[in-house]
Structure 1
C-alpha cells in the first residue's frame, strides 16, 4: 500500500512537471517569434537605407522644401538606426541565455523520459519498486536542480529590456519613415518630371 501511494505521488508530480515543460516550450516559442521579427526589421531597415542613398543622390541640388523633407527623413532614419542598434545589442546579450535555456530544455526532456521509463518499469515489475524508486528520486533531484537553474536564467532575462518592447518602439518610427518617404517621392515627382521611379 505504501509503495502504491509513493507511485501515485510520483505520478502526480510528473503531471506537474509536464505543465512546467509546457511553460518552458511556450517561452522558447516566444523567443523564436521575436527572432523572426528581428530579421524582418533588419530587412526593412536595409531597404530604407538603399532608398536613402538614392534619394541623397537626387536631392543634392533640389529646392529647400525637399531638403527639409529629406532632413526630416534623415532624422527618422537616425532614430531607427539607434533603435536597431539597441535591438541588436539586446539580442546579442540574450542569445547566450536563450542558448542555455535550450540546452537545459534538452536535459529536462531527457530526465522526464528517464522518469517515464522508471514509472513504466514500476508498473511492469512491482517487485523492483524499491530499487526503481531510489533511481526515480535521484532523477528528481537532478530535475529540481535544472528547474532552479532555468528559473534563475529566466529571472536574469526578465531584468534585461525586452526584445519585444524594442521592436514595438521601432514600429512607429518605421511608419513615420515610410510616410516621409512617400511625401518626399511626391515632391520629387513634382520637381523632376522625368524622375518617376528611383
Structure 2
C-alpha cells in the first residue's frame, strides 16, 4: 500500500509539472503590420494597417504554438489620404469586397528556446497562400504594468502579391514582391 501511495504521489508531482499551452490575446497597441513595396526602383512605398486583432496559443516547453491574426484592410494608413483611398479600392485591396486579411498558423520553429519562424497561410483578396514569417526578435517577459506575461517579436516575410491576384501596376513595372513586417506582442489571458 505504501509503495502504491508513493507511486501515485510521484505521478501526481510529474503531471503537475507538465506545461500546457497558454492563451494570449494580441495587444493592438503593441502590434503593427506594415508593408514596403518598391516604386519604380526609385523609392519605397510604405504603409501600415491600424486595425488588427488575434489570438496566440503558445507552449514554450513543448515548443508548439498557434496564431490567428485578422487585419482590417480598410485601416490601411500610408500618411496620404488619396493613396489610402486608392489602396482600399477594387484596383488593389478591394476593402469593400474583401474587408479582412488573415494569417493562420500552427507551425512554430524554434532555435533553442526562441521562436525562429512561424509558418502558416495568409489570406488576402479571398486567396490563401503559404507564408513563413521569420523572427528577427522573440521574447517573453513579465509586464510590470499589466502584471501578466507578454510574448512577442519582430517577424518578416516577402510575399508575391500576384499570388493573391493583386496585379495592379505590374505591367507598368511596379514590383510584385511586398515586404511584410509584423511587430507583435500578445498578453497571456
Judging by fraction of residues, say which structure has more helix: 1
TM-score by length of 2: 0.27
Indicate the structure whose relative CO is greater, using CA pairs within 8 Å and at least 6 residues apart.
1
Larger Rg: 1
TM-score, length-normalised on structure 1?
0.27
